[in-house]
Amino acid sequence: MSARNLYEVEMIDGGAFDPAAPLQFPRRDFLKLFGSGLVIGLAPASALAQESGRRGFGVHQLPQNISAWIHIAPDSRVTVFTGKVEVGQNIRTSLAQQVAEELGVPFDSITMVMGDTARTPYDMGTFGSMTTPRMGPELRNMASAARDTLIQLAADRWHADTAALQATNARVTDTTASRSATYGELTQGKELVKIVSGDPALTPATQWKVAGTPVPKAEIRDFVTGRHVYPSDVTRPGMMHGAIVRPAGYRATLQSLDTSAAEKIPGVRIVHDGDFIGIVAPDYATAHRAADAVKANWNVPPQPSNAELFSILKKGSSDSGNEPPGRAPEHQTGNVPAAYASAPIKLEQEYTVQYIQHAPLEPRAAVAEWKGEGGEGPALTVWTGTQRPFGVRDQLVEAFNLKPEQVRVLQPDMGSGYGGKHTGEAAIEAARLAKAVGKPVKLLWTREEEFTWAYFRPAGVITIRGAANRDGKLTAWEHHNYNSGGAAIGCPYDVPNQLIQYHPADSPLRQGSYRSLAAAANNFARESHMDALAHAANLDPLEFRLRNLSDQRLRNVLQAAAEKFHWVPPVSPLRPGIGYGIACGTDKGGYVATCAEVSVDPATKKLHIVRVTQAWECGAIINPDGLRNQQEGAIVQGLGGALFEQILFANGKILNPHFAQYRLPRFQDAPQIEIVLLDRKDLPPAGAGEIGLIGLAPAVANAYFAATGTRLHQLPMAPKLS
């Protein structure tokens, strides 16, 4: 693996469905995959135009850019094939609910096949809160088209008018005659493939019966009985266990190597190729004992530490030029310097954000198996936990010089990722080991490996200048983000003079996506600054926000949160050591407002989050319980980065790569949580997995100020006081 692969991870935010992406399996295998019945696929209208005349039934005329398939079998079982993956965000359930709704079948009759590169259409990955706004409507379109097709099949069979036919509960019924047929009966013996496009009429959210309801998590019984098979649980016949001898630090080079002691351990194989030193053994303990027995000397060059971090980031990127560093502003209107200079109320402040880690409870894991001589199927099969099975497949294709169809990556529903599992390191390592020993190999990263060799939520420096007039109306807003990212960097408030700029920098540590990307950092800085300006203007922070906010959806969540929380302005007398704070924000179609009550011990100054009320709106709600669960979880996860999580590093080493040293939110930290969901049935659903995270930190910082009169300008805010 090259150094570039090791240290650079693309920040992934949004991105379009790639119409050039090829169908990932040969057409001749297509029907073999499904068997008889009806298959519905969805293609963009542009693709159908290019493949003119291919619309409608046909077996060998598939467009090359299908995002998902729905198959209806002769027994009326429905199988949905999508490259999206389930990582705890509950889309296995919410997508099936939407198919059930539009297709007119029971929820339990649907099986979701997800994240299997040999069986599902190409998908760029599960990130950016895109599943609900993009895959959801596509599946609804397909399901609606499938229902129309089934009605047409029944009309043809009975020589009936389609207007008289109803399709519900997996059955088409003729309302003018006493006859009906199940979906399966209508597809019996047929091999129908239909590619659809366009926007069929979909059931409005106001009429939903399955979508919009709190259907429990799909296959939940397997999770409470220990039966669910996670990537790290996969077992193959003859499987061996792997371990990797890691470098002594980042950017290290191997100086000398002595594997003689390890080689003497019975059953151990050493796999050495350049700086890659791997172990294969019959069991986990032996593999790791052998790895410990390897004597490797590494040269680790001097590298920076947390102490220099923020000055490095403020220098900007080495290839971005100087003065000002970085790329063009994201947004620029009016004249900020003039407006700021003349404003009666103004504040300038720097905010900082440390690196944190996703720390998914299941570390990276992979089982790799190479096809034996004369075997069938792909040359290499890898089961691994990743948010991008097709991306990992492409990494394997490149690493082993294979063709895409020679590699199959399967993603069993995993022990989550939070943006941290976009890459395929464990998959490549397991495949190297398996290839060397000619047997399937499982590699399960240790927690220390996950902390050290995965990647981090970017650190950052954010500087804000904000100004208001004596009426409490904002007049100038300047926001610079160094390194942490451009997500939600735009100011949602009405400000005539603005300069908003993201400055890439040379990050000392490998960094990548993290749930909500930089929205959490940008929102922390902006909403802290708004609170400070409100106090400078002697206004209630809620009133100050509303005075400068015309975005009605953001106003709605602010008012809903404040009402449920029983918000009172912090200028009112509260009990000693108790403070209230409020914050709001929006990104990716989600709107959040958060109120927090904190208590601060007068003697120890320790901070505790007593209760949090969060109002959330993301259009029509598909599963209110799943949505509530995401909001609650985002608050609890968010409080870690807000209060105490931080990566400590020096000279190419992580200094706290264990749960005993890296403090995570635990039961003791969980506040009392109230969630208010605003259901906008008139608006399309947006993703809800990420943005629920962005209100907590500033609400807590503002509450801390209300309680103590002290402002905290850094994340984590209180590593020693919580």
Partner 1 sequence: MGHYSLNVNGAQHSVDAPGEESLLFVLRNHLNLTGAKYGCGEGQCGACTVLINGRATRSCLIPVSSAANVKIETIESLERDGQLNSVQQAFIDEGALQCGYCTSGMIVSATSLLRHTPHPTDEQILTAMNGNVCRCGTYPRIVAAIRRAEQSGKEA
Interface segment toward partner 1; rule CB under 8 A; list 33-41, 425-433, 475-483, 627-635: 627-635
Q: Which of 625, 651, 683, 708 binds partner 1 (CB under 8 A)?
A: 625
The residue (of 32 and 667) whose beta carbon lies closer to partner 1 is: 667
CA 503 to chain centre: 23
Q: With binding defined as CB under 8 A, does residue 632 bind partner 1? A: yes
Which whole-number Å values give the CA distances from 258 to 244, 267, 288, 352, in the listed order? 15, 18, 16, 44
The residue (of 501 and 637) whose beta carbon lies closer to partner 1 is: 637
* Rounded least distance, CB 557 to partner 1, Å: 20
Contact indicator for 394, 403 with CB cutoff of 8 Å? no
* Rounded least distance, CB 285 to partner 1, Å: 4
* Rounded least distance, CB 616 to partner 1, Å: 15
Q: With binding defined as CB under 8 A, does residue 221 bind partner 1? A: yes
* Tokens standing for residue 533: 């300006």
Q: With binding defined as CB under 8 A, does residue 264 bind partner 1? A: no
* Rounded least distance, CB 153 to partner 1, Å: 38
Q: Which of 228, 236, 246, 555 binds partner 1 (CB under 8 A)?
A: 228
Neighbours of 604 (CB within 10 A): 8
Interface segment toward partner 1; rule CB under 8 A; list 141-149, 202-210, 229-237, 648-656: 229-237
* Rounded least distance, CB 656 to partner 1, Å: 12
* Tokens standing for residue 528: 């802290």
Q: 12-51 mask for partner 1 (x: CB under 8 A)?
A: ----------------------------------------
DSSP conformation class of 420 = -
- Close Cβ partners of 510 (under 8 Å, ≥ 6 residues apart): 6, 7, 8, 9, 250, 455, 456
> What per-residue string of b and e applies to 41-50 under the rule 16 or more CB within 10 Å gives b?
bbbbeebbee
The residue (of 140 and 217) whose beta carbon lies closer to partner 1 is: 217
The residue (of 360 and 570) whose beta carbon lies closer to partner 1 is: 360
Q: Which of 25, 298, 340, 418 binds partner 1 (CB under 8 A)?
A: 418
- Close Cβ partners of 124 (under 8 Å, ≥ 6 residues apart): 15, 17, 18, 21, 388, 390, 391
Which whole-number Å values give the CA distances from 168 to 92, 200, 366, in the listed order? 22, 17, 42
Q: Which of 37, 63, 74, 88 binds partner 1 (CB under 8 A)?
A: 88
Write the single-letter amino acid at 33.
L
The three state secondary structure string of 575-603 is CCCEEEEEEEEEECCEEEEEEEEEEECCC
Interface segment toward partner 1; rule CB under 8 A; list 30-38, 231-239, 369-377, 402-410: 231-239
- Close Cβ partners of 710 (under 8 Å, ≥ 6 residues apart): 704
* Tokens standing for residue 558: 């602010």
Interface segment toward partner 1; rule CB under 8 A; list 95-103, 134-142, 181-189, 216-224: 216-224
Number of residues that bind partner 1 (CB under 8 A): 62
Q: With binding defined as CB under 8 A, does residue 307 bind partner 1? A: no
Q: 634-673 mask for partner 1 (x: CB under 8 A)?
A: xxxx--------------------xxx---xxxxx-x-xx
Closest listed residue to residue 705, CA positions, set 546, 543, 596, 626: 596
Q: With binding defined as CB under 8 A, does residue 233 bind partner 1? A: yes
Which whole-number Å values give the CA distances from 391 to 81, 398, 620, in the listed order? 18, 11, 31
Q: Which of 246, 289, 315, 680 binds partner 1 (CB under 8 A)?
A: 289
Q: With binding defined as CB under 8 A, does residue 487 bind partner 1? A: no
Q: 518-557 mask for partner 1 (x: CB under 8 A)?
A: ----------------------------------------
* Rounded least distance, CB 655 to partner 1, Å: 16
Which whole-number Å values give the CA distances from 48 to 134, 196, 644, in the listed order? 19, 8, 53
Q: With binding defined as CB under 8 A, does residue 361 bind partner 1? A: yes
Distance, in Å, from the CA atom of 604 to the CA atom of 176, rounded to the nearest integer, reads 78
Distance, in Å, from the CA atom of 693 to the CA atom of 716, rounded to the nearest integer, reads 14
Q: 321-360 mask for partner 1 (x: CB under 8 A)?
A: -------------------------------------xxx
* Rounded least distance, CB 220 to partner 1, Å: 5
Closest listed residue to residue 131, CA positions, set 179, 180, 97: 97
Q: What ranges in 51-161 are assigned the alpha helix state H?
A: 91-103, 136-158
CA 314 to chain centre: 28
Binding site for partner 1 (CB under 8 A): 87-90, 214, 216-217, 220-221, 223-230, 232-233, 235, 241, 266, 283-286, 289, 358-363, 413-416, 418, 444, 446-447, 625-626, 629-630, 632-637, 658-660, 664-668, 670, 672-673
